[in-house]
Structure 1
């Protein structure tokens, strides 16, 4: 009986990954001519074709994972938080025997499901941006295993991993209470994003729990980036001169760094006139002036858990489940502490 070759067979014979074979067959990617010639020669010799081996492809793994950056307002590889999460995911998923391929919403106009099926990926990692497209819900509810980062997937073959965002805000307000800080403001992310909603909910609940004054005028919204924090802080200073909060909690470190810049330009000192807390614990926090107090999200752990969850979904091990990772508060100079302390 004539052997029916799969894309994985071709990859093994050529000494490359299944993703490389797929790119060569679809004329995509930057693959050397020597590698292309070798793979095409093996394809010709074996008589392999995607149509001929469709049944085999449907029943066998390609060891290929799709990576989707979701959202019409997109995060990308330059985002410091997601970049570190993805690096952790990449290392772990590689140990589990997978390669991956990126799907661009600019190129495919959100038609992720058809592209994932075209490349016959075993599973998909979805990284959340803002204003997530309807096409993500279609992918979430498909038969393809999916794991989300900072997005709550609900499909039967989907899971997600994210930081416990209610606890993020609770840690900030608890710190304020323990240090006799009564006036706390909030620079939120995109108003209708799920992450922003959870952190705002946690913030308001904690303010009520600890009996601190909740001033709605000190709660404003941006987009997680530095210029947004800079703009929002300038607005607060202009509108509430003489009645500013003692401490501001920004929903990202980038926003916090922008807020610090605005405070300085307006002649206000950090932490003397206002203490500042960010979120994410990106590398820049350790080198900013002052060094930034922040809520540390365990980016390495999130990436590893996402890889293991996705592998389990692909191999149909156990039920789908979603995981919340506990954050930590790392106190630095922007809250008046000369030596770093994690609480």
Structure 2
């Protein structure tokens, strides 16, 4: 077999030769100047371009204007429904602003993440959006060449980057207070490994318990994955004991992602624990996955459209944007927490 050769792309010189004009005139036609072109000459150029199927080099044009008209997006996992929603919202907003988007995944690996950032900067992207497992301080050491970084899953100030995110503190307060309103007094949180004690979710978790004069429920590190939450929930159920060793298990679980809630749901089913009759469950993200579990999951829904709109606006004018912009979440009540 022989590999078919890609046909040569028509050039500006080809159009100029066919139209009987200079290459400069072709450039003036497709760049709207800087010099005017007579109407009949312009028509000759356009007809020649159509006959040759000539496509101007939009990248070169953008670079001459001082912009690549290209955004970069890095997420940890393309298979996560939340990031799929976020990518879709960002792409739509970027298109409205006349930008294309280059998507990459770090695959939850710090070294891969750094390589993705370097590759995007080498492409002269006008901004990098993403959810970065590493601390925000990583951006301070980058040679970003004026390229703004916008974090959309990091709800506190980050050195060297702008933050446009859901309000994690508000979400945790909503979820915890709602579960407490059902009479649950022993609640556990499933949270990924990247969160530290200063994380707004951790702080709000403690604050709400203290406000109700209750012991702070356990925070179980589970990754933001189905498998991680499944294993963590099994361990929580099988090993949970209070200080007296009486084997008290949680009465409800707040999972900090829909995927974690799905993993927890399987573990609960396998242990014969009914949801919500025996244990309440509420999740964070609010993707469509919540509608197709049994029972359907109550969830804090992230407004990806509003986040994307603010994020693109920030990318276009970073100097005018606040360092942190937080978008409220919406509590969608379904059967898993008992309503």
On the 8 A contact 1:188/1:200 being kept in 2, the answer is no
When the two structures are superposed, what TM-score results if normalisation uses the length of structure 2? 0.73
Q: Which residue of 1 aligns with 2:90?
A: 89
1:258 to 263, 268, 271: 263
Q: CA deviation at 1:309?
A: 1.4
On the 8 A contact 1:165/1:195 being kept in 2, the answer is no
Task: Structure 2: give runs of 5+ residues left out of the alignment.
Answer: 18-22, 28-58, 242-246
1:300-326: CA deviations, max 9, x gaps? 21122111211223xx5x255321011
Aligned length: 286
Q: Which residue of 2 aligns with 1:123?
A: 127
CA distance in 2, matches of 1:327, 1:87: 18
Q: CA deviation at 1:63?
A: 1.1
Q: CA deviation at 1:283?
A: 0.8
On the 8 A contact 2:90/2:312 being kept in 1, the answer is yes
1:251-278: CA deviations, max 9, x gaps? 1111111111111111111111100111
Question: Residues 253 and 104 from structure 1, CA distance in 2 versus in 1: closer, same or farther, beyond 3 angstroms?
Answer: closer
CA distance in 1, matches of 2:120, 2:16: 25
On the 8 A contact 1:123/1:310 being kept in 2, the answer is yes
Q: Which residue of 2 aligns with 1:240?
A: 240
On the 8 A contact 2:170/2:328 being kept in 1, the answer is yes
CA distance in 2, matches of 1:42, 1:304: 41
2:293 to 285, 288, 292: 288
CA distance in 1, matches of 2:325, 2:15: 42
Question: Residues 163 and 44 from structure 1, CA distance in 2 versus in 1: closer, same or farther, beyond 3 angstroms?
Answer: farther
Q: CA deviation at 1:199?
A: 1.0
Question: Residues 43 and 300 from structure 1, CA distance in 2 versus in 1: closer, same or farther, beyond 3 angstroms?
Answer: farther
Question: Residues 59 and 145 from structure 1, CA distance in 2 versus in 1: closer, same or farther, beyond 3 angstroms?
Answer: farther
Question: Residues 247 and 136 from structure 1, CA distance in 2 versus in 1: closer, same or farther, beyond 3 angstroms?
Answer: same
Task: Structure 1: give runs of 5+ residues left out of the alignment.
Answer: 1-31, 70-74, 338-343
CA distance in 2, matches of 1:100, 1:148: 16
**2:198 corresponds to 1:225:** no
On the 8 A contact 2:299/2:332 being kept in 1, the answer is yes
On the 8 A contact 2:137/2:159 being kept in 1, the answer is no
When the two structures are superposed, what TM-score results if normalisation uses the length of structure 1? 0.73
What are the within-5 Å matches in structure 2 for residues 176-195 of structure 1?
176-190=179-193, 192-193=194-195
1:288-311: CA deviations, max 9, x gaps? 100011111112211221112112
CA distance in 2, matches of 1:140, 1:209: 45
